[in-house]
Amino acid sequence: MSTIQTTSSTPDDTRPRGPLAEVFFSLLRSRTFLVGFAIVLFWVACALFGEHFAPYDPLADDIINALAPPSSEHWFGTDQIGRDVFSRVIVGSRDILTVAPLATLLATVAGTALGLVTGYFRGLVDDVVSRILEAFMAIPVVIVALLAIVALGTSKTTVIVVIGLSFAPIIARTVRSAVLAERELDYVAAAQLRHESALHTMFVEILPNVIPPILVETTVRLGYAIFAVATLSFMGFGIQPPSPDWGLSISNNYGMIGGGFWWTVLFDALAIASLVIGVNLAADGVHGALND
C-alpha cells in the first residue's frame, strides 16, 4: 500500500515593494538623511512648542541684566536690552520655518508649471520663456527684494513672494530638462494618439514621472531659502521687530561683538548654520535614495 505524501506550500509573504516604499526604506537606511532630518525636526519642534518651554519671554527686556554673559541663569547670556538669548533662539525658529517653506512651495509650484510648459511645447514657447527666466535668474535676490519692498512694503508676504519667484526659474530649468527626456517616450506618444489635451498629458502623464528631480531640487532650494530669509532679515528687508528671528537678532546685536559680547550673535548664527546643514543633509539623503 502506497502512501501519497502531499506537501503543503505556504504562500511567500515577501511581496515586492513599490517604488515609494523602496525610497522610504532607503531613506531609513541613510545616515545622512536621518541626521539631517533629526536636526530639522528639532527646530520644527522648537518652532511649534518653543514658547512653552523657553525659560523667559523672548520679547521681555531687562535693562539691569543687559549683556550678561552665559550663566546658569541665562544659558546663552542676554542681549543689549537684557532679553534672554536662549529663549530668543528657541522661539526664533518659528518665523524662518514659516516663511522659508512657503517661499519654497511657491517656487516649486511656479517652477514646475513653467518647466512643464517649456519642456512639453518646446519651439518658440520654450525659447521665449527660457530667455525670460534666464534674465530673471541673473538678478540677485537682494535687488529683487529691494524693488518689491519699494512697491509692496516690508512684510512676510513680500519675502515669500520675492524668494519664491527668485527660485522658481531654477526649479523650472530642472523640470524642463526632465520633461524633455520624458516627452520622447512611448507613453507620451500614446497619450497624443488618444488625442489627450496638452494639460492632461503634462500634468497627468508626465508630471508623476518627473517627481523625483522635483523633490531633490525642492529640498535643495529650501536650504537656500532659509539662508535668504535670514540674510534679508539681517539687512532689514525681511522679518521685522519685535520678532526674535535669528537674522534680525544678529542684525540688532552684531555691533556688540567689538565689545567682546560674542554671545549676542554667536548662538543665532549657529542656529541658522545648523538648520541649513540639516536641510542640506536631508536633501543629500533624498537624492541618494531616489538614485538607488
Q: How far is CA 163 from the centre of its chain?
A: 11
The tally of CA atoms less than 13 A away on the side-chain side of residue 115 is 29
pLDDT of amino acid 136? 82
Please state the domain count of the chain.
1
d(C-alpha 252, C-alpha 242), whole Å: 11
15-24: Cβ within 8 A, 24+ apart: 22/292, 23/289, 23/290, 23/292
CA atoms of 193 and 195, how far apart (whole Å):
5
Are the C-beta atoms of residues 106 and 66 closer than 8 Å to each other?
no
CATH label of the domain that carries residue 194: 1.10.3720.10
Structural domain includes residue 38: no
Helical residues (DSSP H) of 138-262, grouped into ranges: 141-152, 156-182, 186-193, 198-200, 211-234, 246-253
Residue 61 located in a structural domain? no
Its domain, for residue 250, covers 71-291
Q: Is residue 15 part of a domain?
A: no
Q: Is residue 56 part of a domain?
A: no
* Torsion sign, CA atoms 30, 284, 129, 182: negative
Grid cell, residue 184, equals: 520622447
Angle at 254 between CA 248 and CA 256, to 5 degrees: 130
- Cβ atoms of 234 and 247 within 8 Å: the answer is yes
- CB of 119 within 8 A of CB of 180? yes
Question: What distance lies between CA 14 and its chain's CA centroid?
Answer: 36
Which pLDDT belongs to residue 134?
Answer: 85
**41 belongs to a structural domain:** no
User: 260 lies in a domain?
Assistant: yes
Could you tell me if residue 48 is inside a domain?
A: no
- Tell me, rounded to whole angstroms, the distance of Cα 149 from its chain centroid: 22
Q: Is 19 helix (H, G, I), strand (E, B) or coil?
A: helix
Can you give the pLDDT at residue 18? 56
Going 55 to 58 to 64 to 67, the CA torsion angle's sign is: positive
**Residue 66 within a domain:** no
Helices 263-291 and 19-29: crossing angle in degrees, nearest 10, is 140
The rounded average pLDDT for each run of 10 residues, N- to C-terminus, in the chain (292 residues) is 46 53 80 95 95 91 92 94 95 94 97 94 84 84 79 86 92 94 90 90 92 92 93 87 92 89 95 96 89 72
